[in-house]
Amino acid sequence: MNDHVRPGFATEVDFHLPKGYVDASGTLHRHGVMRLATAADEILPLRDPRVQQNEAYLIVIVLARVLTRLGTLTDIDTSTIEGLYASDLAYLQQLYERLNAPGELDGDEAAPAGRSMHGMSASGGA
């Protein structure tokens, strides 16, 4: 089995939030890192009762799993994602879709325009 990452294959991306997350102490966090999602990142949250009650919550859990850093914060959880401004949540959702879209990293043809790759929407639509 070949476990090495090929040269030029990015597994994480840096980002800057449009507005930023303000933590309990008033510190603004705008720069962060998102990693590629695994199958478990998309499958396991489907068992969560919050997702079963409200499908729109799926993106909250998934983002909490794939964000590895937000400013000085390294322990990102659902309450962190819930505290984001709506424009920042939309920005991260779009970044997630681009980063995890088939073909995005290896040059294959991407999915049709206007179609969500993962069916996750902050507004609750699929």
Is-contact 90 122, C-beta < 8 A? yes
**Please, are residues 122 and 59 in contact by the beta-carbon 8 Å criterion?**
yes
Rounded mean pLDDT, 112-117:
38
Q: What is the mean pLDDT of the segment spanning 7-24?
A: 90
* Closest C-alpha among 1, 55, 11, 56 to residue 33: 11
Instruction: Specify the higher pLDDT residue, 77 or 4.
Output: 77
Per-residue pLDDT at 118 exceeds 80: no
Q: pTM higher than 0.75 for the full model?
A: yes
Q: Which amino acid is at 101?
A: A
| 60-111 per-position pLDDT tens digit | 999 999 999 999 999 999 999 999 999 999 999 999 999 998 875 444 433 3
Calculate the alpha carbon distances from 95 to 16, 53, 60, 64 in Å. 11, 25, 14, 14
pLDDT tens digits along 20-61: 999 999 999 999 999 999 999 999 999 999 999 999 999 999
Confidence of residue 112 (pLDDT cuts 50, 70, 90): very low
| pLDDT band, very low/low/confident/very high, at 6 (cuts 50, 70, 90) | low
